[in-house]
Amino acid sequence: MTKHQIPNTKYQTLNTSHPLIELINVDIFYGSMQVLFSISLRVFQGELICLLGGNASGKSSTLKTILGICKPSKGRVLLNGQDTGKLKTRDVISKGVSIVPENRRIFPHMTVLENLEMGAYLRNDREEIRKDMENIFDLFPILRERSLKQGITLSGGEQQMLAMGRALLSRPSLLLMDEPSMGLSPRLVDQQFEIIQKVNSMGTAVLMVEQNASMALSIADRGYVLQTGSVVIEGNAEELINDPMMQEAYLGGGDGDV
């Protein structure tokens, strides 16, 4: 699978507008322990960005910072140009950010339909929700078939589809994905990345934390590499794939994170 399977001309116009999300020199502490050091990154509308790095590099902490779960002790997080420092996570989500969390984290004893409805809990446009639900079922036909089954009865791949469908029902402009390939078979990993490409090609920006660096870079526009809480490499996907440091240290993959 390559970046060119889905026609993509969006990158030509991205840098003429302000970023959808921007972290500017952000420091994050957990108590007295600093986990992010002067992090700066940007995601423009419609981009697909991967965030790479080894164990305890700070990838998941970066996602928590974007969601407002972690608040910077220094630096700023801007969402569509607005400082999110005083926003609660609920407010960040209502402004167009959604996440497919690590290990899916669906509601196991709720039905597939009920899980999906939770994705739209901040919305009150019922007719549009109904249309979006149909779009999710078109994207993931197995979820339609199993809409009345409990989430716990789904396979790992189906649960990942459910978690993504739930996130998309909030109509995000930015979709955060935390280790989307974790625990999936190689066949399902290929399927998952094809779906991510399709979602991105429809206009949703994606910031993806992923342990499979080579797979992530094969579909990404750009990437950032974290090491012990700092950005050590950044660039477009082709540059990173050909970077000797990347080839030696990261393209073999990694697991875990802070």
Q: How far apart are CA 116 and CA 132, in angstroms?
A: 10
pLDDT bracket for residue 157 (50, 70, 90): confident
Q: How far apart are CA 213 and CA 234, in angstroms?
A: 13
pLDDT for residue 170 is more than 60: yes
Give pLDDT, residue 243: 87
Q: Which of 212, 223, 209 is nearest to 57 (CA)?
A: 209
Question: Taking residues 203-228, what's their average pLDDT?
Answer: 93
pLDDT for residue 172 is more than 60: yes
pLDDT bracket for residue 257 (50, 70, 90): low
Give pLDDT, residue 3: 37
pLDDT bracket for residue 252 (50, 70, 90): low
CA distances from 97 to 18, 38, 132 (A): 16, 22, 17
pLDDT bracket for residue 115 (50, 70, 90): very high
Q: Contact 173/81 with Cβ under 8 angstroms?
A: no
Main-chain phi, psi angles of 147, to 5 degrees = -60, -25
Q: 186-201 b/e with 16+ CB inside 10 Å = b?
A: eebbebbbebbbebbe
Domains contained in the chain, CATH given = 3-96+172-249 (3.40.50.300), 106-171 (no CATH)
Helices (H) and strands (E) in the chain, counts: 11, 10
- Mean pLDDT over all residues of the chain? 88
Question: Taking residues 137-143, what's their average pLDDT?
Answer: 94
Please tell me which residue, 177 or 9, carries the higher pLDDT value: 177
pLDDT for residue 180 is more than 80: yes
DSSP assignment string, 9-78: -THHHHTTS--SEEEEEEEEEETTEEEEEEEEEEE-TT-EEEEEE-TTSSHHHHHHHHHTSS--SEEEEE
Residue type, 208: M
Residue 111 burial (C-beta neighbours within 10 Å; 0-12, 13-18, 19+): middle
Q: How far apart are CA 223 and CA 107, in angstroms?
A: 31
Give pLDDT, residue 102: 82
Residue 124 burial (C-beta neighbours within 10 Å; 0-12, 13-18, 19+): exposed
Residue 151 burial (C-beta neighbours within 10 Å; 0-12, 13-18, 19+): buried
Question: Taking residues 215-242, what's their average pLDDT?
Answer: 94
Question: Taking residues 155-159, what's their average pLDDT?
Answer: 88
Main-chain phi, psi angles of 9, to 5 degrees = -115, 5
Give pLDDT, residue 191: 86
Question: Taking the model in full, what pTM does it have?
Answer: 0.86
Give pLDDT, residue 251: 67
pLDDT for residue 156 is more than 90: no
Give pLDDT, residue 258: 54
pLDDT bracket for residue 104 (50, 70, 90): confident
pLDDT digits (tens, 9 = 90+) for 12-68: 334 447 899 999 999 999 999 999 999 999 999 999 999 998 888 999 999 999 999
Other CB atoms within 10 A of residue 84 CB: 23
